[in-house]
Structure 1
Amino acid sequence: MHIAIDLDNTVLDATAAHVTYYNMASGKALTAADIQDFYIYRSYGWNREERDIVYAKHGHDIHWHSAPYPNAADMLQQLSLEHELSIITARPMLFRDVTIDWLNRHKFTYNNISFAENKLEACIAANVDILIDDAPHYAEEFARMRKPIILYDQPYNRAVTSEFVLRAADWAEVNRHIQRLATGSGK
């Protein structure tokens, strides 16, 4: 199978890193547990333009200092033995180098990487069979297209339900879903 994998809040904890730098920029003292919105900047009362200013200043550090989720790198290494793996991230190209350096530093295995805001389009173009992501809007898009998505559980995506949405709380659960899909034993 060809598996597409998101980065932020799927293989790594982006929320904690964003909160650290957003707190520095805002003077607030939020914690990752305070974040209940996919768009973290909304918790700071910022609009998109205000967020873009902070992100341009701190984005490199945010991405470099994000911690990988337990077992994510090992699981991708294992999956790479039987599947094609594509990283598809909505990160801006501005952060391409730090992203690749971070993946190498943490020994993540993948066949190719794409920086695309429209993940559905990128996945269709690359003939992806399944996406692993945390974003509720991507999960809904994939479900409407009747394409399976493994939704990495986050507080902001729990309202998303569909027979095509397979929820995973950790990378062992991600692996179990992939094994079932690969053997054709159900969604």
Structure 2
Amino acid sequence: MRIGIDIDGVIANTFPLLVNELNRFFDKNLSYDDIISYDLAKIYNLNEDQLTEFIQAKGSLLQDGPLPVPQAVDCINNWRGKAYVVLISARFEKARDRTQQWLERYGFHWDELILLGSHDKADTCVQLKLDVFIEDNLNNALQVSSRGIPVILLDAPYNRAPLIGQVQRVHSWSQICEIITPG
């Protein structure tokens, strides 16, 4: 079995940290549940320059600081030797060392790490002949699903919309482990 997994928002609990840092940086008071869109510039009413300034100031923290999503490490590591696990992220290639260090710090086991520098993951998922993809970005989930790959969407305030295609919403990694049982 070939399993693709996004990093931020799926195995790295990035968004609560991101919201906290955005609030501090821009003197706002939004909660995680207020993030009803993946477009943070829109939610925080930021222009491109402001968002760039924030990312330059806080990018390292956002890559190094999140804790793993509960049960993600155990679930993924239980697939070791039974499935080929590919981590596919929109992070840029220059973040490879930090990303690998974070994964190793928390004990994740994976077979391949792909940093696309883009949210467009559908072609990569097809080329890798994935059997399933785990994602938190609704648009990515719908794009990958439209290419014939089942997607498990980890629930978040910013992805709550009707699902179409082969997209299944879950609320935890324990649910993911019940659904994906490689032989």
The TM-score, its normalising length taken from structure 2, stands at: 0.91
> Which stretch shows the higher mean deviation, 92-101 or 77-86?
92-101
- Partners of 1:160 and 1:133 in 2: how far apart? 15
- Partners of 1:94 and 1:107 in 2: how far apart? 22
Q: Which amino acid aligns with 1:157?
A: N
Q: Which amino acid aligns with 1:136?
A: L
- How much does 1:8 deviate? 0.9
- Partners of 1:92 and 1:104 in 2: how far apart? 18
Matches within 5 A, 1:37-116: 37-116=37-116
8 Å contact kept, 1:119–1:138: yes
Match of 2:16 in 1: 16
- How much does 1:10 deviate? 0.8
Q: Which amino acid aligns with 2:134?
A: I
8 Å contact kept, 2:135–2:154: yes
The alignment partner of 1:12 has SS state of coil
Q: What are the Cα deviations for residues 126-150 of structure 1, in whole angstroms up to 9, with x where unaligned?
A: 2222110001111111222222001
- How much does 1:163 deviate? 4.3
8 Å contact kept, 1:86–1:114: yes
Match of 2:135 in 1: 133
> Which stretch shows the higher mean deviation, 158-167 or 95-104?
158-167
Matched, 1:32 2:51: no
The alignment partner of 1:123 has SS state of helix
- Partners of 1:48 and 1:79 in 2: how far apart? 40
- How much does 1:168 deviate? 1.2
The alignment partner of 2:180 has SS state of helix
Structure 2 unmatched runs, 5+:
none
- How much does 1:78 deviate? 0.3
The TM-score, its normalising length taken from structure 1, stands at: 0.89
Match of 2:168 in 1: 166
- Partners of 1:10 and 1:125 in 2: how far apart? 21
Structure 1 unmatched runs, 5+:
none
Q: What are the Cα deviations for residues 146-165 of structure 1, in whole angstroms up to 9, with x where unaligned?
A: 22001111122221412411
Q: Which amino acid aligns with 2:54?
A: V
Percent identity over the alignment?
Answer: 26
- Partners of 1:125 and 1:103 in 2: how far apart? 24
- How much does 1:48 deviate? 3.4
- Partners of 1:148 and 1:45 in 2: how far apart? 34
8 Å contact kept, 1:140–1:160: no
Match of 2:151 in 1: 149
- Partners of 2:78 and 2:68 in 1: how far apart? 16
8 Å contact kept, 1:73–1:107: yes
Higher helix share: 1
